[in-house]
Amino acid sequence: MTSIDAGTTSGGGRAATQDHSEGMAYLETLPRRIVTTYIPLFLIIIVLLFPFYWMALTAIKPDDQLIEMDKVSPFWTWTPTFKHFYKLLFESEYPRWLWNTMFIATCATFISLVASVLAAYAIVRLRFKGATAVGALIFLAYLVPPSILFIPLATVIYKVGLFDTPLALILVYPTILIPFSTWLLMGYFKTIPYELEECALIDGASRSQILIQIILPLAIPGLISAFIFSFTLCWNEFIYALTFLSSTQNKTVPVAIVNEFVDGDIYRWGSLMAGALAGSLPLVILYAFFVEHYVSAMTGAVKE
């Protein structure tokens, strides 16, 4: 009787396991994956990429198709033209605007990273009294909207004689870059083991040697993430660039393409979209090469 019960129990267990495996296999079937994975991903890709497609399409459309959209398909063109790119690159000061944007973003990002590394290391590693409160205040400074600060900052910039110069933006942008970069690097520095620093102190290393030779090499993904964030914010910033720069030759790309390609109520959509497309390519290349490091730092990866 016992053997029969055992056999029955064993058979029931196998049946339950088989039923369970069949149920899990159902989740891996192709129809299930289509409904739960492929269709949502397809919809998300369309939503994310459609603005870029529309921008690129507008940049290569002839002028007549941009105005008379009822007679031609708004989603495609059979007669593409590069006239808008030609006017942008050779009949305007767009290369100068692109250089201004690159120069300002690079300098402001470098200054912000140097200050953020020193601030984050001091708050996380030196363990002075009130370090936690200082870190929280630094992050709260990031939450202050630029629309509130640009009026007093404009007064300061004008009085020191930096108005309408790239140096004005180079000195102002760190005020919005340092708080977030410091907060980001604080979180990444905390993931680096303290034992490495303690061993270096025992061996006689100074704080500067520890920071340069131990902490920074291990925090490269965090530095790359802070660099990408800061560089992107500088590249796309509009309010400060509109306020502090007035002459055409000193403008940055976001401000210049809006001011120079809009005549009253007339929008030169071809040139506008061509300028926006060309201006976004450097950021696309930057993210394409360093996206893994960016995601690693933003998710708090541990490097030991």
Write out pLDDT tens, residues 169-226: 999 999 889 998 998 888 888 888 888 888 888 888 888 898 888 889 888 888 988 8
pLDDT over 70 (residue 13): no
Whether residue 29 has pLDDT greater than 70: yes
Angle at 273 between CA 268 and CA 279, to 5 degrees: 130
Angstrom distance (rounded) from CA 167 to CA 236: 17
Q: Give the per-residue pLDDT at 37.
A: 83
3 state DSSP class of 130: coil
Q: Name the CATH superfamily, with its identifier, for domain 86-298.
A: MetI-like (1.10.3720.10)
On whether the CB atoms of residues 112 and 181 are closer than 8 A, the answer is yes
Residue ranges of domains in the chain? 2-58, 86-298
Q: What is the pLDDT of residue 1?
A: 44
Please state the rounded mean pLDDT for residues 93-114.
94
Which conformational region is residue 123 in: left (phi greater than 0), alpha (psi within -120 to 50 degrees), or beta? alpha
pLDDT > 90? residue 292: no
The tens digit of pLDDT for each residue in 239-255 reads 899 989 989 899 999 99
pLDDT at 264 over 80: no
